[in-house]
Amino acid sequence: MGSTRSDYPSLNLDLNVGSLPFPVDSPKAVLAMESKHVDKKVSIKDEKAIKALEAELVLATEENKKLNEVLAATIAGYSELRNQLIELMSTTSPEEGSRSQSPPGKRKSERLDANMESTSSEGSCKRVRDDCKPKVWKLHVRSNPSDTCLVVRDGYQWRKYGQKVTRDNPCPRAYFRCSFAPSCPVKKKVQRSAEDTSILVATYEGEHNHDPHSQPGAPSLRPNTAALDLKSPGSKSEMVSQEFHRSLVERMAFSLSEDPAFKAALATAITGRMLPLRTS
DNA sequence: CGATTTTGACCAGCGC
DNA sequence: GCGCTGGTCAAAATCG
C-alpha cells in the first residue's frame, strides 16, 4: 500500500484552474484545434485574442502543475504525520508503560495481542512480529448492555465452542470458530469490556479463506445492531468494498477515540503547536 | 435428526 | 515443580 494519490479518493481533486471555453487537455491540443477551425478571414484582433487566451491557458496549466505539487507535498506530509502517530502509539512511553504493564499472570502471547490492538486496525502496521502467528486484530462494537448474548454480527457464521470467565473481567469470554468451512482457520473471541459493558470486544485471529456472502442462510445485516462487513479488502464487489472501507474507518475512529494513548499524543501535539505560537 | 450451544474437564504456557 | 490462567475438547442438552 503506497501513499500515492490514488490512495486518497477524497483528495483526488480536479485542479483545472481557470475557466476554459471548451474542454482541452493541453495547449498543443488547443493549437491543433485552432489550426483546424480558424478561419482564414480571422482578423488581427482575433489573433491577439487567441494569443492572449493561449498565454492564459499556459499560465493556468502552470498553476495547475504547481497546485498538484502542493497537493502531493501535503499528502506526503499527511502520510509522514500519520506514520509518526502510529509509531508513537506503538512504542511504549514511560507512563504508558506503567499503564500497559500487564498484571501478574498475564501471558506473553496475550500481551502481544494487546500490543497489536493499537496497530492492527491500521493497514500499515510497521511492527513485524517475530513469530508466524495468524493476523490478530480487535473490534469494538457497541451493543445493548442488558443483552447478554455475545454476538457480533460481521457477516460470517460462527460456531461457539467454549466460554470462560477470565480473571481480569467478570464478564464471560466466548470462543467462536468460523462454521462455514472446516478449513477456515479464523477464530473469534468476544467479551464485554470491563470498563464499559455496552462495548463488545471481538478479537479475530486469522483470515477467512472464503466469501462471507457465499454461504447459504447468511444472516442479513440488520441496522441498529453490531453489524459490520469484515470482508477482506481487494474484493470484486464494490458495494462490499465500500462497506468494508466504511467499517474500517469507523473502527479506526472508535479505536483511536477510546485509546488514552492517542488522546495523550493528540493533546501533546496540540500543546506543542500552540505553545510556540504563544511564546513567539 | 442434525446443528448448535452449554459446561465441566483437560491441556499447555507462564511466572514464581 | 507447582499453581494459576487461558484456550480447547467433548459429551450432554437444547433448538429448529
List the A160 CA – B6 C1' distance (angstroms): 10
Residue A63 confidence (pLDDT): 78
Cβ < 7 Å from strand C, A residues 100-159 = 105, 107, 110
Contact between residue A139 and residue A202 where contact means Cβ atoms under 8 Å apart: yes
Find the DSSP H helices in chain A.
27-37, 44-90, 94-100, 108-120, 238-258, 260-279
E strand or H helix that includes residue A203:
strand A199-205
Which nt sits closest to A165, CA to C1'? C6
Give me the tens of pLDDT residue by residue for chain A, a chain 280 residues long: 433 333 333 333 333 333 333 333 444 443 444 444 444 444 666 788 888 888 888 887 887 777 777 666 666 665 666 666 555 554 443 333 333 333 443 444 444 444 444 433 333 333 333 344 457 778 787 776 666 667 776 777 888 999 998 888 888 899 998 877 667 778 889 888 877 888 888 888 877 776 655 443 333 333 333 444 444 333 333 444 444 555 555 555 555 555 555 555 555 555 555 444 444 4
> Which protein residue's Cα is closest to nucleotide B14 at C1'?
A107
Paired with A164 in beta bridges are A173
Which nt sits closest to A164, CA to C1'? C6
A18 touches strand C (CB under 7 A): no
CA dihedral for A212, A213, A214, A217, sign (positive or negative) = positive
> Rounded to 5 degrees, what are φ and ψ at A150?
-95, 70
Q: ∠ CA A153-A181-A251 to the nearest 5 degrees?
A: 30
A223 touches strand C (CB under 7 A): no
What separation in angstroms does the CA of A202 have from each of A128, A140, A175, A231?
A: 22, 6, 10, 15
State the Cα–Cα distance between residues A206 and A208, nearest whole angstrom: 7
> Rounded to 5 degrees, what are φ and ψ at A37?
-105, -10
A161 touches strand B (CB under 7 A): yes
Which nt sits closest to A158, CA to C1'? B4
Strand A199-205 versus strand A136-142 pairing type: antiparallel
Cβ < 7 Å from strand B, A residues 99-118 = 104-105, 107-109
Candidates A259, A140, A145, A153; CA nearest to A197 is: A145
Say which residue the cell 501513499 belongs to.
A3
Question: DSSP character for A5?
Answer: G
State the Cα–Cα distance between residues A114 and A175, nearest whole angstrom: 17
Residue A175 confidence (pLDDT): 92
C-alpha cell at A40: 482564414
> Which protein residue's Cα is closest to nucleotide B15 at C1'?
A105
- Kindly report the pTM of this predicted structure: 0.47
List the A249 CA – B3 C1' distance (angstroms): 36
List the A133 CA – B3 C1' distance (angstroms): 30
What separation in angstroms does the CA of A75 have from each of A72, A204, A260, A262, A264?
A: 5, 32, 27, 21, 24
List the A204 CA – C15 C1' distance (angstroms): 27
List the A49 CA – C2 C1' distance (angstroms): 95
Contact between residue A100 and residue A24 where contact means Cβ atoms under 8 Å apart: no
